[in-house]
Amino acid sequence: MSDHELRVSKIRNGTVIDHVEGGQALNVLAILGIDGSEGLGVSVVMNVPSDRLGRKDVVKVEDRELSQSEVDVLSLIAPEATINIIREFEVAEKNRVTRPDSVSGVLSCPNRNCITNAGEPVETRFDVVADGVRCDYCSTILRTDIAEHIDV
């Protein structure tokens, strides 16, 4: 690596979310509920060249692993992402995200008249469709604004 390249430090323990679609890193942090106030070490790299994606973002979160529901929602905005679990500086696990068939209890429906917004004990459920996610109850489709409706 030459002096002209920027190197972001390796981390000792935590999670590296790699191959995130360029420009989505801040939405990744929103999905993880990270805003900096937790005191976790977080590194964000945005729009760096990638052979596979053209441009990619990378998010490194120290001392934190991800839940399956977080990974499910991540897959919707970063379908090519790789989740690397780091332990004592080594990549202990590397997994590609997979798009789930549906996500339950993690997204809120933007339709105010939807049964899921009526104060009833109904868990939200969205089916993953080609162009976004579709509410099971009212068929409202969330497309680009998925990250704004996360409720984890």
Which residues carry a binding-site annotation for Zn(2+)?
109, 114, 135, 138
Half-sphere exposure of 143 (CA within 13 A, CB side): 2
The answer to whether 58 contacts ligand CTP (rule: CB under 6 A) is: yes
The answer to whether 110 contacts Zn ion (rule: CB under 5 A) is: no
The window from 8-16, 100-108, 117-125, 128-136 that contacts ligand CTP (CB under 6 A) reads 8-16
Report residue 111 as tokens: 């339709």
> If DSSP codes are grouped into helix, strand and coil, which group holds residue 74?
helix
Pick what 137 binds: Zn ion, ligand CTP, none; C-beta below 5 to 8 Å, kind-dependent.
Zn ion
- Taking residue 145's Cβ as centre, other Cβ atoms within 10 Å add up to 10
Distance CA 1, CA 14 (A): 24
The answer to whether 18 contacts ligand CTP (rule: CB under 6 A) is: yes
* Residue placing its CB nearer to ligand CTP in the complex, 98 or 144: 98
**Member of 15, 16, 31, 146 binding ligand CTP (CB under 6 A):** 16
Asked if 124 and 105 touch (Cβ cutoff 8 Å), the reply is yes
Applying CB under 5 A, the site for Zn ion has a residue count of: 7
**Member of 28, 57, 60, 135 binding ligand CTP (CB under 6 A):** 60
Map 16-29 to HEC letters.
EEEEEECCCHHHHH
By CB under 5 A, name the binding residues for Zn ion.
Answer: 109, 111, 114, 135, 137-138, 140
